[in-house]
C-alpha cells in the first residue's frame, strides 16, 4: 500500500519537474533578463530536460492507464454491487482497488451476516405474528362456539369481544359492537348485569359469581354469572370477562327434586302416622271393645299395605329408569287383569262415594304382557281417576279390540276436575303435577310416568289422554294383540 | 269430663278418626273437617276452643286456614295446633306471626297431642282468668 503511494509521489514530482522545465523554456523565450540567466543554468544540465519530458509523458500515460484500470475496477465493483446475489469480489490487482475490495468484502460479509440475522429475526416475528393471529382466531372460535354468553370489556367498560350467545341474550349485534360502551349496548333492561360487571371489575377480585334473573322474550330465566378480572403484566386491571350460564333448567330440576322429596316424604309419612297413632291407641287401651280393636288392627294393616305400595312405586320408577327391572311377558286377557284390580279400587272409591263401572270381559283381548306391570298400570289409572273425581262422580273402565290394527285399547273415563289444555301434554312427565289440581289431591307425580314407561318402554304400546276442565278426563293405553306388531310403530290414534 | 270443643281437620280420614277417638275418650267434644274451607266454616259456626289441623290439605292448606282464621273477628284468637309431615314446613316467624300454638311432626303420638291440647287450653284459661 505504502509503495504504491510512493510511486505516485515520484511520478507526480517528475511530472511537476517536467512541466516546470517546459514552463521555464517558455519563459526563456519571452526574452526577460531573469529568464536568460535561469535558462543558462538549465542548459548546463544537458539532456536533463528532454529526459524529464519523456519521463513526464510516460508518467502521464501510466497515470492514464492507472485511471483506466481504476475506472474499470470501479465499474466492475459497481456492476457487482448491482447484482442480486453477489459472490465475493476477486482482488482487482490494483492496490487501491484491492484495498477497496477488501473493505467492501469485509463490510459486505458483516452486512450479509447482519442481514441474515435480521432476516432470521423477521422470519421469527412473522411466525410469531402468524401464531398470534392463529391464537387470536382460535380464541375467537372458542369464544364463539361456547353456548354460554361470553362478554369481555376493557378497563373503560367498552366491549372488546362477545359471542353470538351474548348478542342474542342481551340483544346487540356482537360482530359490530366492538369498542362500544357495554351499558349503551345492552340497554336498561339488563342493568343488573352491567352493574355486577362494573362492580366486580372495581372490586379487583379474581372472580365473582352471582345468580342473575334476566327476561328474554318475556320469559324469565336464571343465569349463573361469573365475572373474572383481566390483569396486565403490571398486575393492573385491564378489563373483565363475564360468562353467563343459563341455569333455568337446573333450577327447575332442583325445584322438582325438592318438591318430589317433599311429596314422597309426605306420602310416606301419612300412612306411617296412622300406623303409629293406632298402635299407640291400642297400647294405651283406648280401644274399648273388640270391634274397635279390630277396626284399629285393620287400619294398621291397610296403612302398612299403602306404605308398601308407595315404596314399590318409587322403587319401580327407579328400577325402570336404571334398566334393572326384569320383564316376564306372557299371554293375558286385559279384561281379566282389569277385573282383578277393580275389586281393590272399588273399596277406595266407596270411601269417596264414587261409582266405579267395569265391563263384561272381552274374550279376544289377549296380549303378551308382564301381568304385574300392566296390573300396576290399571291400578294407577283407576286410582288417579278416583282421586281427581269429586264425591258423587263416576269412573268407567272398558277395553276394545281393533282387529284391523291388531291392538287392544283400555279407556279409563272419569267425571273429574279435568286438566287445562296447556297442561295435558305434560301429565305423563315425571314429577309433573297439574298446577290447578295440586290442591285437589296429594300425589308424587310418579304414577302416570310409571304408566307411560311400563306401556311404552316394556310393551311396545302407547299411552294417551283427552281431557276437558270441569267435565272429566279419559286416560288410556294401547297394546299390540298377542300376534300383533308394536303399537308405537303404527302411531295410530285412539 | 270437660266441656271443651276441638275441631280436628285432616284430609286423611284415619287420622281424623284416631284423634277424635282419643279426644272423645278424654272428655272432649270433637267436630271434624277434611279440608281447610270446610274447617273455616265449622270454626265460625261451632266456635271451637282449639283447632288441630293438618298442614298439607287439598282446597285450602293448614297455613291458609290459619291466615283466614286470624283475619276473622270470631276466630282470630282460637289456638291452633298444626300437624305436619314436613318438619321444616313452617318457620318460627310464621308460627309467631300466625300465633300457631304448637306444631307436631307426623308420625305423631295421640298421647302427646292430647297433652299439648291440655297445656294450651290450661294456659288460655289462666290468661282469661287474669284478664
CATH number reported for the structural domain that contains residue A174 in this entry: 3.30.450.20
Question: What residues of B are in contact with residue A264 (Cβ under 8 Å)?
Answer: none
Q: Residue A319: its pLDDT value, please?
A: 80
Domain endpoint, select from A69, A87, A105: A87
| pLDDT tens for each residue of A18-73 | 666 676 666 666 566 665 666 666 666 666 666 777 777 777 788 778 777 777 77
- Is the omega angle on the peptide bond into residue B107 within 30 degrees of 0, that is, cis? yes
Contact between chains at B13 and A265 (C-beta distance less than 8 A)? no
The structural domain count of chain A equals: 4
Residue A168 in grid coordinates:
342474542
Question: What is the C-alpha to C-alpha distance for residues A414 and A412, in angstroms, rounded to an integer?
Answer: 7
Q: Residue A484: its pLDDT value, please?
A: 58
Question: What residues of B are in contact with residue A351 (Cβ under 8 Å)?
Answer: 13
- For residues A457 and A370, state if they share a domain: yes
**Is A486 a residue whose pLDDT tops 90?**
no
CATH number, domain at A448? 3.30.565.10
B123 touches chain A (CB under 8 A): no
Answer whether residue A474 is part of any domain: yes
Domain endpoint, select from A49, A66, A87: A87
**Which residue segment(s) compose the domain that A28 sits in?**
2-87
Closest listed residue to residue B55, CA positions, set A386, A390, A442, A278: A442
Q: Which residue of A has its CA nearest to B21?
A: A286
Taking the mean position of all CA atoms in its chain, how far away is CA A290? 72
The ipTM (two decimal places) reads: 0.92
Q: Residue A363: its pLDDT value, please?
A: 61
Question: What residues of B are in contact with residue A277 (Cβ under 8 Å)?
Answer: 15, 18-19, 107-110
B15 touches chain A (CB under 8 A): yes
Contact between chains at A273 and B107 (C-beta distance less than 8 A)? yes
Average pLDDT of chain A to the nearest whole number: 83
Q: Determine the number of helices (DSSP H) and then strands (DSSP E) in chain A.
A: 15, 12
Answer whether residue A24 is part of any domain: yes
Q: With contact defined as beta carbons under 8 Å apart, do A370 and A457 qualify?
A: no
Confidence band (pLDDT; 50, 70, 90) for A492?
very low
- Least confident range from A114-123, A205-214, A386-395, A481-490: namely A481-490
Percent of chain B's residues with pLDDT above 90? 70
Across A247-286, b (16+ Cβ under 10 Å) vs e yields: beeeeeeeebeeebebbbebbbbbbbbbbbbbebbeeeeb
Taking the mean position of all CA atoms in its chain, how far away is CA A274? 53
Contact between chains at A272 and B107 (C-beta distance less than 8 A)? yes
**Chain A residues 412-431 within an 8 A CB cutoff of chain B:** none
| pLDDT tens for each residue of A181-206 | 988 888 777 888 988 988 888 887 77
Confidence band (pLDDT; 50, 70, 90) for A356?
very high
| pLDDT tens for each residue of A259-276 | 778 778 887 888 899 999
- For residues A14 and A152, state if they share a domain: no
Answer whether residue A107 is part of any domain: no
| pLDDT tens for each residue of A359-393 | 766 667 789 999 989 998 999 999 999 989 999 99
Among A277, A278, A351, whose Cβ lies nearest the Cβ of B108?
A277
CATH number, domain at A302? 1.10.287.130
Contact between chains at B86 and A272 (C-beta distance less than 8 A)? no
Q: Specify whether domain B5-130 bears CATH 3.40.50.2300.
A: yes
Q: Angle, to 10 degrees, between the axis of helix A95-145 and the axis of helix A2-29?
A: 130
Number of Cβ atoms within 10 Å of the Cβ of A360: 8
Q: With contact defined as beta carbons under 8 Å apart, do A399 and A341 qualify?
A: no
- For residues A178 and A303, state if they share a domain: no
Amino acid at each position: 500500500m505504502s509503495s504504491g503511494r510512493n510511486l505516485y509521489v515520484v511520478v507526480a514530482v517528475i511530472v511537476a519537474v517536467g512541466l516546470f522545465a517546459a514552463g521555464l523554456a517558455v519563459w526563456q523565450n519571452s526574452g526577460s533578463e531573469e529568464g536568460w540567466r535561469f535558462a543558462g543554468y538549465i542548459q548546463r544540465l544537458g539532456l536533463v530536460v528532454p529526459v524529464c519530458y519523456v519521463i513526464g509523458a510516460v508518467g502521464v500515460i501510466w497515470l492514464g492507464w492507472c485511471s483506466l484500470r481504476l475506472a474499470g475496477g470501479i465499474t466492475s465493483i459497481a456492476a457487482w454491487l448491482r447484482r442480486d446475489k453477489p459472490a465475493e469480489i476477486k482482488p482487482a490487482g490494483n492496490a487501491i482497488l484491492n484495498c477497496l475490495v477488501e473493505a467492501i468484502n469485509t463490510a459486505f460479509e458483516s452486512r450479509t451476516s447482519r442481514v441474515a440475522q435480521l432476516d432470521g429475526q423477521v422470519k421469527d416475528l412473522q411466525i410469531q405474528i402468524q401464531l398470534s393471529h392463529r391464537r387470536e382466531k382460535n380464541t375467537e372460535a372458542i369464544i364463539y362456539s361456547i353456548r354460554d354468553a361470553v362478554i369481555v370489556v376493557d378497563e373503560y367498560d367498552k366491549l372488546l369481544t362477545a359471542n353470538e350467545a351474548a348478542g342474542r341474550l342481551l340483544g346487540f349485534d356482537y360482530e359490530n359492537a366492538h369498542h362500544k360502551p357495554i351499558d349503551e349496548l345492552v340497554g336498561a333492561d339488563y342493568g343488573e348485569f352491567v352493574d355486577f360487571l362494573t362492580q366486580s371489575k372495581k372490586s379487583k377480585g379474581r372472580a365473582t359469581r352471582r345468580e342473575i334473573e334476566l327476561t328474554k322474550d318475556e320469559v324469565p330465566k336464571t343465569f349463573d354469572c361469573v365475572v373474572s378480572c383481566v390483569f396486565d403484566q403490571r398486575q393492573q386491571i385491564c378489563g373483565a370477562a363475564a360468562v353467563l350460564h343459563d341455569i333455568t333448567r337446573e333450577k327447575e330440576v332442583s325445584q322438582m327434586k325438592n318438591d318430589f322429596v317433599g311429596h314422597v316424604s309426605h306420602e310416606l309419612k301419612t300412612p306411617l302416622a296412622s300406623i303409629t297413632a293406632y298402635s299407640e291407641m291400642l297400647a294405651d287401651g283406648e280401644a274399648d271393645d273388640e270391634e274397635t280393636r279390630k277396626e284399629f288392627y285393620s287400619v294398621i294393616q291397610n296403612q302398612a299395605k299403602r306404605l308398601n305400595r308407595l315404596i314399590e312405586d318409587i322403587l319401580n320408577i327407579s328400577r325402570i329408569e336404571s334398566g334393572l327391572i326384569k320383564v316376564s311377558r306372557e299371554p293375558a286377557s286385559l279384561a281379566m287383569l282389569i277385573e282383578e284390580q277393580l275389586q281393590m279400587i272399588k273399596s277406595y272409591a266407596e270411601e269417596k262415594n264414587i261409582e266405579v263401572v267395569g265391563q263384561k270381559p272381552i274374550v279376544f283381548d289377549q296380549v303378551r304382557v308382564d301381568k304385574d306391570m300392566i296390573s300396576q298400570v290399571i291400578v294407577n289409572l283407576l286410582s288417579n281417576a278416583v282421586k281427581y273425581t269429586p264425591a258423587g262422580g263416576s269412573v268407567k273402565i272398558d277395553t276394545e279390540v281393533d282387529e284391523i290394527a291388531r291392538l287392544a285399547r283400555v279407556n279409563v273415563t272419569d267425571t273429574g276436575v279435568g286438566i287445562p289444555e296447556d297442561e295435558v301434554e305434560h301429565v305423563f312427565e315425571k314429577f309433573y303435577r297439574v298446577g290447578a289440581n295440586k290442591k285437589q289431591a296429594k300425589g308424587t307425580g310418579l304414577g302416570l310416568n310409571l304408566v307411560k314407561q311400563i306401556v311404552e318402554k316394556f310393551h311396545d304400546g302407547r299411552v294417551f289422554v283427552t281431557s276437558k276442565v270441569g267435565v272429566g278426563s279419559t286416560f288410556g293405553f294401547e297394546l299390540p294383540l298377542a300376534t300383533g306388531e308394536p303399537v308405537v310403530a303404527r302411531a295410530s290414534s285412539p | 269430663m270437660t266441656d271443651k270443643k276441638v275441631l280436628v281437620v285432616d284430609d286423611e280420614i284415619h287420622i281424623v278418626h284416631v284423634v277424635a277417638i282419643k279426644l272423645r275418650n278424654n272428655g272432649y267434644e270433637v267436630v271434624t273437617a277434611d279440608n281447610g274451607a270446610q274447617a273455616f266454616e265449622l270454626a265460625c259456626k261451632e266456635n271451637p276452643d282449639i283447632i288441630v289441623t293438618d298442614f298439607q290439605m287439598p282446597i285450602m292448606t293448614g297455613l291458609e286456614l290459619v291466615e283466614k282464621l286470624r283475619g276473622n273477628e270470631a276466630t282470630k284468637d282460637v289456638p291452633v295446633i298444626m300437624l305436619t309431615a314436613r318438619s321444616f314446613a313452617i318457620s318460627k316467624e310464621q308460627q309467631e306471626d300466625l300465633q300457631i300454638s304448637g306444631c307436631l311432626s307426623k308420625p305423631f303420638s295421640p298421647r302427646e297431642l292430647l297433652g299439648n291440647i291440655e297445656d294450651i287450653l290450661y294456659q288460655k284459661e289462666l290468661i282469661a282468668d287474669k284478664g
